[in-house]
Amino acid sequence: MGVFDSRSRQEPAYCLERERLSQVASWDEFYQTRHLRRKPLVVAHRGAPNVLPENTLASFALALEQGADVLETDLRFTKDGEIVLFHDATLERMTEGAGPLRDHTLAEIKGLRTWAPQRRLSAQRPPALIELLEMTQARTPLLLELKDPLFADEEYARKLADVLVAYQVVERCALVSFKPELVQAVKRLLPAIPTGHITLNNLLPIPNTELLGPFWPLLFANPFYVAAAHRMGGIVAPLDTTPERRMRYYLQLGVDAVLADDPAGAIAAMGGKA
11-60 pLDDT per residue, tens = 344 343 334 334 566 777 777 777 777 899 999 999 999 999 999 999 99
Supply the range of the domain harboring residue 27.
19-75+139-269
Q: Over 60: is that where the pLDDT of 110 sits?
A: yes
Percent helix, strand and coil across the chain, each to the nearest 5: 40, 20, 40
100 beta partners: 90
Collect contacts of 15-18 with beta carbons under 8 A, ≥24 apart. 15/136, 15/137, 15/139, 18/64, 18/139, 18/140
Domain assignment present for 23: yes
With respect to residue 110, please indicate whether it lies within any of the assigned structural domains. Answer: no
Position 173 in a domain: yes
CA torsion 147→266→230→136, rounded to 10°? 50
Q: Across residues 92-110, what is the average pLDDT?
A: 98
Instruction: Indicate the range of 4-8, 47-51, 90-94, 107-111 predicted with least confidence.
Output: 4-8
Over residues 179-207, the pLDDT tens digits come to 999 999 999 999 999 999 999 999 999 99
Residue 43 · residue 260 · CB < 8 Å = yes
Instruction: Give the CATH number for residue 264.
Output: 3.20.20.190
Q: Is residue 59 part of a domain?
A: yes
Q: Considering its fold, how many domains does the chain have in total?
A: 1
Q: Is residue 27 part of a domain?
A: yes
Query: What is d(CA 178, CA 141) in angstroms, rounded to the nearest whole number?
Result: 20
8 assigned to some structural domain = no
Q: Report yes or no on 102 lying in a domain.
A: no
Confidence of residue 274 (pLDDT cuts 50, 70, 90): low
Determine, yes or no, domain membership for 40. Answer: yes
H or E segment and range at residue 197: strand 195-199
